[in-house]
């Protein structure tokens, strides 16, 4: 078997394979021999059926199998020899063509690969990284959130107006300027006042309504409101307070610590401080890595493998219209194409640093093992409380394992760059509102 490789683009290869008539004959003979081992026909013992009879009777099954096996082995052999790693499915120019005894066979396989990149220097780079500081105020903030989470809801002996800290259950319905009901502005939900869980106008309206009563009032939606049809609009909201409960937050003491799973308050504060320190270390390390990556990306141009872009775009389109579905009609091809054109630039921008890092990982002979991918899925399942096996199956069916592999490979590359960098610890940036002379 002979082969040649040509560049179709900076990220796509065309592999031409040529099998001689003898190569074809050997592949067919091998397939026949495999079938012969277990085949039994009337008048012949198992394993003794003549090869010619097997090929004649079962050729429709044997020839395709022989062709596919020979192509798979040839592809694997070439990829190993040339050090190539296809990023996508391999396309065959004559997928229906089959071997024929006495004749040669040729085909061309096409696939995407990572681009060849002229890497800038990535060893010994200098980067600033903030020192990790955990103070009592950080710990106090977490404990305050614990108090909120562990608060008890207490019925009020006498009805009063809702106030900050209370939990109310409200029923609401919105109307436009013409008094027409808005179908997408209605419902019932619990709300803790003063926690910015609802728009300010809505909370202020609720605070004027006694339990069991209802009232109308204007609610202004901000111009950047996520639900675009309501952005910048003023809606007349009809609100009823279904129930009102006062929240009693526990005292900060050893009993609170025990409810949170610690031995006492001192141990709880220690656990929180350690958790915050680890979280901040991960964050400042991640920030430093991003600085290193931004610096490297500013020095290179990265061609994107089209198959990677197309897969991400198709998935984005599918997810978008799945969220929009419900009772809506299926989107037209024009609508799908329009949305694909809209998201493609953002997807390409997000992919460039990942492709750069994947190429760097290949250069450094880094790889990701299948068990590393499965470990990531397992950890995601544990964090989200999902069944690991079901999540793993869902990832495999959706083809997301490949995306996870790519991300892990990129992570290994930037971790390598960081490990070789000269990291300078600097004082944390002043929080908004602090001044340089605050300690004076």
CATH number at residue 225: 3.10.50.40
Same domain, residue pair 28 and 168: no
* Of the residues 248, 272, 298, the one at which a domain ends: 248
Domain count, the chain: 3
Question: How distant is the alpha carbon of residue 22 from its chain centre?
Answer: 49
- Note whether residue 283 is domain-resident: yes
Cα separation, 97 vs 124, whole angstroms: 53
Q: Quick one: how far is CA 265 from the chain centroid?
A: 38
Query: Are 283 and 397 in the same domain?
Result: yes
252 SS3 class: coil
Coarse DSSP helix, strand, coil percentages of the chain, rounded to the nearest 5 percent? 45, 20, 35
Residue 397: per-residue pLDDT: 86
Domain assignment present for residue 347? The answer is yes
**Domain shared by 227 and 313, yes or no:** no
Q: Pairing state of beta strands 214-220 and 91-92?
A: unpaired
pTM score, whole prediction: 0.74
What pLDDT shows up at residue 428?
87
pLDDT profile of the chain (440 residues), mean per 10: 94 95 95 89 85 89 94 94 88 88 94 94 96 93 90 88 94 93 92 92 96 95 90 95 92 92 94 95 96 97 93 91 70 92 95 96 94 94 92 88 92 97 90 47
Please check whether residues 166 and 68 belong to one and the same domain: no
216 and 325 co-located in one domain: no
Give the span between the Cα atoms of 131 and 281, in whole angstroms.
8
Question: Are 222 and 278 contained in the same domain?
Answer: no
102 and 170, same domain (yes or no): no
Domain identity same for 357 and 240: no
State both tokens at 322: 């799945």
Instruction: Please check whether residue 258 lies inside any domain of the structure.
Output: no
Q: Is residue 194 part of a domain?
A: yes
Tokens of 352: 């460039």
Report strand pairing: 422-426 vs 126-130.
parallel
Strands (E), 181-293: 181-192, 214-220, 234-248
108 in the same domain as 50: yes
Q: Name residues whose C-beta falls within 8 Å of residue 30's C-beta, 6 or more positions apart in sequence.
A: 66, 69
CA distances in angstroms from 169 to 24, 49, 159, 181, 184, listed in the order given: 76, 81, 14, 21, 19
Per-residue model confidence (pLDDT) at position 38: 86
Query: Residue 355 is part of which domain span?
Result: 263-426
* 7/104 same-domain check: yes
166 and 93, same structural domain?
A: no
Indicate if 309 and 189 belong to the same structural domain: no
């Amino acid at each position: 078997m002979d082969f040649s490789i040509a560049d179709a683009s900076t990220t796509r290869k065309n592999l031409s394979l040529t099998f001689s008539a003898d190569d074809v004959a050997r592949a067919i003979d091998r397939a026949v021999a495999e079938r012969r081992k277990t085949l039994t026909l009337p008048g012949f013992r198992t394993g003794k059926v003549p090869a010619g009879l097997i090929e004649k009777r079962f050729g429709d099954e044997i020839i395709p199998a022989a062709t596919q096996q020979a192509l798979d082995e040839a592809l694997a052999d070439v990829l190993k020899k040339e050090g190539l790693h296809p990023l996508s499915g391999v396309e065959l120019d004559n997928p229906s063509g089959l071997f024929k005894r006495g004749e040669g066979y040729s085909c061309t396989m096409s696939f995407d690969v990572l681009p060849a990149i002229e890497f800038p220097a990535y060893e010994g780079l200098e980067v600033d990284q903030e020192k990790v500081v955990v103070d009592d105020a950080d710990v106090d903030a977490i404990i305050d959130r614990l108090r909120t989470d562990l608060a008890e809801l207490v019925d009020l002996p006498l009805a009063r107006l809702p106030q900050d800290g209370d939990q109310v259950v409200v029923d609401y319905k919105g109307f436009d300027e013409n008094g027409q009901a808005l179908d997408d502005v209605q419902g019932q939900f619990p709300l803790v006042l003063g926690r910015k869980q609802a728009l300010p106008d809505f909370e202020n309206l609720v605070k004027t309504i006694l339990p069991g009563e209802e009232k109308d009032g204007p609610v202004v939606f901000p111009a950047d409101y996520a639900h675009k049809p309501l952005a910048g609009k003023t809606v007349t909201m009809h609100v009823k307070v279904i129930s009102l409960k006062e929240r009693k937050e526990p005292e900060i003491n050893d009993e609170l610590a025990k409810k949170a799973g610690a031995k006492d308050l001192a141990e709880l504060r220690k656990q929180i401080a350690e958790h915050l320190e680890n979280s901040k270390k991960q964050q400042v390390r991640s920030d430093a890595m991003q600085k290193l990556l931004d610096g490297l990306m500013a020095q290179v141009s990265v061609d994107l493998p089209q198959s990677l872009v197309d897969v991400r775009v198709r998935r984005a389109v599918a997810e978008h219209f799945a969220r929009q579905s419900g009772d809506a009609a299926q989107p037209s091809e024009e609508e799908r194409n329009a949305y694909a054109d809209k998201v493609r630039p953002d997807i390409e921008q997000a992919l460039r640093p990942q492709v750069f890092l994947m190429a760097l990982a290949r250069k450094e002979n880094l790889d990701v093992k299948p068990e590393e991918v499965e470990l990531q899925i397992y950890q995601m399942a544990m964090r989200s409380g999902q069944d690991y096996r079901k999540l793993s199956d869902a990832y495999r069916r959706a083809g997301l394992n490949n995306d996870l592999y790519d991300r892990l490979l990129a992570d290994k590359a930037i971790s390598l760059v960081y490990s070789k960098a000269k990291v300078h610890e600097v004082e944390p940036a002043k929080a908004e509102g602090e001044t340089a002379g605050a300690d004076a």
